[in-house]
Chain A
Amino acid sequence: DIQMTQSPSSLSASVGDRVTITCRASQTISNYLNWYQQKPGTVPKVLIYATSSLQSGVPSRFSGSGSGTDFTLTISSLQPEDFATYYCQQSFTTPWTFGQGTKVEIK
């Protein structure tokens, strides 16, 4: 299985901050990397797919980059509704695997 490792596991940030979350794959996954957001008690929601493609309806302050094994999710200006847990997930090969999550908390 391809292991997905996110860093940090959690972070504290203020509204308006630029936030970057990193995801590393244990082997190359080309650009088959997706990002999800999950707020407490709710269903995961896809933000970014294929490394950098913004899902319809997702605000443009979210962006993704990377290739091969190293990827990032960036929130350019953190908003109150962005406090949540973020997961990366690879779909290069089955079994698809998720990272352990990064919890973004209010500072």
Chain B
Amino acid sequence: QITLKESGPTLVKATETLMLTCSLSGISISTRGVGVGWIRQPPGEALEWLALVYWDDDNRYSPSLKSRLTSTKDTSKNQVVLLMTNMDPVDTATYYCAHRKFYGSGSYKGVFDIWGQGIMVTVSS
């Protein structure tokens, strides 16, 4: 059974860097084909895709946030870390990590079939 759980600060100040951790169980982040996504949702708004982290470090980021985002793996802890720099109050949202189930052809296809519980991050001015 695959589970994911986000952890990190629930309150950050504007201009600070947010660091979130996604802890995986039931699957290894270093196994070929494994992908973990980051998604956020501001209060009352739609879902927004942020990044996909792959077992081979061929990561993909949202172009609109690419300059602020970095996601890395800690294989020893089976965790994925998301860093978002220069936080702003508009970044206030629930942040989710999710397991990508692959289907189709090509490396970057799939669906988020298992989600973490999410972590609500508030950015104060």
Name A residues whose Cβ lies closer than 8 Å to a Cβ of B: 1, 30-32, 34, 36, 38, 43-46, 49-50, 53, 55, 87, 89, 91-101
Q: Is there an interface contact between B49 and A55, defined as CB atoms closer than 8 Å? A: no
What are 16 A-B pairs at a CB distance below 8 A?
A34-B111, A36-B47, A38-B47, A43-B118, A44-B112, A44-B115, A46-B113, A50-B104, A53-B103, A91-B109, A93-B108, A94-B60, A94-B108, A95-B62, A98-B49, A101-B47
Q: Is there an interface contact between B46 and A100, defined as CB atoms closer than 8 Å? A: yes
Q: Which residues of A contact B108 (CB under 8 A)?
A: 91, 93-94
Closest to A56 in B: B113
Q: Is there an interface contact between A43 and B103, defined as CB atoms closer than 8 Å? A: no
Q: Is there an interface contact between A55 and B113, defined as CB atoms closer than 8 Å? A: yes
Closest to A55 in B: B113
The total number of A-B Cβ pairs within 8 Å is 65
Q: Is there an interface contact between A91 and B110, defined as CB atoms closer than 8 Å? A: yes
Q: Is there an interface contact between B60 and A32, defined as CB atoms closer than 8 Å? A: no
Closest to A30 in B: B104
Query: A89-B112, A98-B47, A100-B46 provided; 11 other pairs, C-beta below 8 A?
Result: A44-B115, A49-B111, A55-B111, A55-B113, A89-B111, A91-B109, A93-B108, A95-B60, A95-B61, A99-B46, A101-B46
The distance in angstroms between the C-alpha atoms of A26 and B51, with both chains bound, is: 21
Closest to A35 in B: B111
Q: Is there an interface contact between B63 and A1, defined as CB atoms closer than 8 Å? A: yes
B81 at the A interface (CB under 8 A): no
The distance in angstroms between the C-alpha atoms of A14 and B104, with both chains bound, is: 36
Closest to B48 in A: A98
The distance in angstroms between the C-alpha atoms of A46 and B110, with both chains bound, is: 11
B117 at the A interface (CB under 8 A): yes
Closest to A43 in B: B115
